Amino acid sequence: MPSILLLSLPAGGGMLLVMRQLAPTRLRLAGAAAGLVAGSGAALVYTLHCPELALPFVALWYLGGMLLPALLGVIIGPRLLVW
């Protein structure tokens, strides 16, 4: 999970900066969406380099790794997306 979170930080930060120019009205939802998209992209990159594909591993670690950036987006979104 920490690897996916670290891989998602640059993309998530960039998405939040771009979303700020779009003037979102639901800041927490917009932050969560940016974090989830960044986390899923990072999980894809991590999947291409990780040979482990057991169902419990994928279900727990990848899902958790994608939800951590979404949670971070919910927390940081209202602070960064204010316009």
* Residue 57 pLDDT: 85
* Residue 45 pLDDT: 93
* Residue 70 pLDDT: 95
Quote the pTM value: 0.88
* Residue 58 pLDDT: 84
**Residue pLDDT tens, the chain, 83 long:** 888 999 999 999 999 999 999 989 999 999 999 999 999 999 999 989 888 888 888 888 899 999 999 999 999 999 999 88
Show the domain range for 50: 2-80
Spatial separation of the C-alpha atoms in residues 17 and 34, rounded to whole Å: 10
Task: Report the chain's C-alpha Rg in angstroms.
Answer: 13
Do residues 16 and 80 touch, judged by C-beta distance below 8 A? yes
- Number of domains observed in the structure of the chain: 1
| Structure-token pair, residue 66 | 């994608």
